[in-house]
Chain A
Amino acid sequence: MQTTSASITTLIEELAKLPGIGPKTAQRLTFYILRSPTDQARRLAEAITRVKENAIQCSICCNITESDPCPICANPERDHSLICVVEQPLDVLALEKTGVLRGVYHVLHGALSPLEGIGPRDLKIDELAARVRAGVSAGAGAEGEPVREVILATNPNQEGDYTATYISQAIARPGLLLTRLARGLPIGGDLEYADEGTLSRALEGRREL
């Protein structure tokens, strides 16, 4: 890319590295920032720097947070004997929006994929195993209480399924309930637009009325 300013070129290149941002959008954003007031640009720059400086990993659930333990792990109202295992911090946000889950989380930071060279040691699986072994003493819940249930909420694809299977073998112990999220039809959807894979899983998982 040939522009008349090296700093413009740099910003375009940096923005284009972001997911979902193509070269065209990067150019548009760059010139938007260029035209915007100086303090607005500075606030953006500071926000970017701060998120890197202040964000740490919760020592219990491995979610990204600014305080350790994170607000969810520190909340005594939560059911600490129910752990929901997810791949990414964004999955926590999605589940929190439902307001249905009263338990706590564990963020793996990825899914197992031999093809991409991601093995068990690259994820927070050992941390989860230790957490289950130790029971609920580490959190704000009652001391020594065992973990009752682990929900494996990894993505419904091959890597996610493999990760769930692997974890269930790694942490299985008597009295521990291991569950997997149901899969099937989306709410408000149309039966005729569902793909065969989803529809056959929905049939397999049908429920008595």
Chain B
Amino acid sequence: MRVERLRLTDFRSYRELDLTLPAGLTVFYGRNAQGKSNLLEAISLIATTRSFRTSSEREVIRWGAPGRFARVVGDIARSHDQLEIEVILAEGVDDATSTTQASETAPATPTGATFRKRVRVNGSPRRAIDLVGMAPVVVFAPTDLDLVTGGPSQRRHFLDLTLCQTNHTYCRTLSQYQKVIAQRSALLRRIREGLDTPQSLAYWDDQLVRLALPIMRGRADFLARASLAAARVYRALASEDEAPATPDGDEGAARGEADSAALRLEYRPSYQQPQQPPDSAETQADQAQQAQQAQQMRAALEVVRRREIAQGANVLGPHRDDLGFLAGGVDLAIYGSRGQQRTVALALKLAELEYIEAETGEQPALLLDDVLSELDPQRREDLLRAVHGLDQTLVTTTDLTIAPASALRQATIFEVRGGAIIQKQTPPAPELSEAGGENSEVRRDAANLSGDEQ
């Protein structure tokens, strides 16, 4: 899918914006705080209903906006249809709309004012959850570079965001699960303080198990499939590393070896399902197996019961899961170089893109927010080569000169200055482009990469 037109009203630094976006690679450059990332944020908002930059969404309303609301409208071209998605974030809405239902769905704010999100698709109102997956995007921001070394919650967030964009049931299950563990941990604390009895846990144990197992199955399925794609992308990106490395130097050779060793994503659930005997999986009916798994997890909760009450916290469940990255049996979070860790993060994002496309039939738009400056020249080139041929890639950067020249030649370039967007270059039309060495080189590179894919 791609965003053909983006209209903003009082969104962040933009009072009013109407921008037509082309297919392929688009680069926005400009100094800091000129409004580059705001564009990508707006697109992520209509794709996921959330901002990837902030959890406090009222921030996106332009400071001093007279109507105290921000509006984002995106014209989306999908493989088989056209959508107009509109998201309005409004603060302190007038009384006509602030019904009791609104106060239930809107989070209470410190000032007591209400804050509402309204979604329309082709003009008709929809719930926020209906929007998820309609216009999928993959966002790659500087914080994603810490995906390998950062905290487990960041990796869980990655899993959840990907799965939520492809699977409504997962999304719903996850949101119910989060409510259950919040209630359950409150109950554990009440039991510790003698306000409730351990018997009260039975209901919440049932709920936890009922919701945890599908979440864990969803994550394991995704990782099994994304692992292959990530390994392939990783190999394509990491093999380039070997070229500059000195072939006779011991260190260089060792690094090259670890790089090219197959990347494997390892699911590390906080609750490990007991291993099934290999033959029993086939003989058992699916439903019977799931019932058995539920029973086993309930038993595991019994085992940790006293610890959970003492800690006043949920010890077992997908909210404590983690994800590991192995190359040649080596844990890259511990032993990988910083460059390798960044390559893994990159590979993971491109694998996410492939997975979403396979699941939804819609290729997500790729949003690269200020990541070029965080990568070394080789990886910059690898990345832009890897995204060549995607429906739509939007890149922001403070420094146009660091972008590989071969990729830039094919790109549409905008300068963003003080909230104004000035088109600097349109990509050459295919028939008009010179049959120069550079262009064909790019195509050859792309062909190489797709060769790797087979």
Contacts and interface: CB of A to CB of B under 8 A. Distances in A.
Interface in A157-204: 158-159, 161-162, 165-166, 169, 196-197
Interface string B193-222: 001100110111001000000000000000
Interface in B68-113: 94-95, 98-100, 103
A25 interface: yes
Contacts of B207: 158
Given A158-B179, A166-B200, A19 B195 contact: no
Given A24-B95, A196-B168, A197-B172, A115 B186 contact: yes
B105 to A, nearest CB: 14
A196 B95 contact: no
A25 B95 contact: yes
Interface residues on A, range: 20 to 34
Given A113-B183, A114-B196, A162-B183, A22 B203 contact: no
B62 interface: no
Contacts of A196: 168-169, 172
Contacts of B204: 162
Given A20-B100, A25-B95, A165-B203, A158 B183 contact: yes
Contact of B203 (A25, A117, A162, A197): A162
B187 interface: yes
B180 interface: yes
B182 A115 contact: yes
Contacts of A161: 203
Contacts of B94: 24
A151 B187 CA distance: 26
Nearest to A158: B179
Contact of B103 (A20, A28, A117): A20
Contacts of B95: 22, 24-25, 28
Contact of A22 (B98, B182, B200): B98
Nearest to A24: B95
A119 interface: yes
**Chain B residues touching A, majority SS:** helix
Interface residues of B, number: 28
Nearest to B187: A114
A197 B173 CA distance: 10
A161 B204 CA distance: 10
Given A20-B103, A25-B95, A196-B172, A169 B199 contact: yes
Which residue of A113, A158, A161 has the most chain B CB atoms within 10 A of its CB atom?
A158
A47 B424 CA distance: 71
Nearest to A28: B95
Contact of A166 (B168, B169, B182, B203): B203
A120 B183 CA distance: 14
Contacts of B182: 115
A22 B114 contact: yes
B190 interface: yes
Contacts of A24: 94-95
Contacts, number: 51
Nearest to B101: A20
Nearest to A27: B95
B103 A19 contact: yes
Interface in B97-149: 98-100, 103, 114
B176 interface: yes
A96 to B, nearest CB: 21
A166 B207 CA distance: 14
B164 to A, nearest CB: 14
A162 B187 CA distance: 12
A166 B190 CA distance: 15
B208 to A, nearest CB: 11
A169 B179 CA distance: 23
Nearest to B200: A166
Interface in A87-145: 113-115, 117, 119-120
A115 B199 contact: no
A114 B187 CA distance: 5
Nearest to B189: A114
Nearest to B199: A169
Nearest to B186: A114
A22 B103 CA distance: 10
Contacts of B168: 196
A20 B176 CA distance: 26
Contacts of B187: 114
Contact of A114 (B98, B169, B190): B190
20 contacts: A19-B100, A20-B98, A20-B99, A20-B100, A22-B95, A25-B95, A113-B183, A114-B196, A115-B182, A115-B183, A117-B186, A119-B190, A158-B176, A158-B183, A161-B203, A162-B183, A165-B202, A166-B200, A169-B199, A169-B202
Interface of B: 94-95, 98-100, 103, 114, 168-169, 172, 176, 179-180, 182-184, 186-187, 189-190, 195-196, 199-200, 202-204, 207
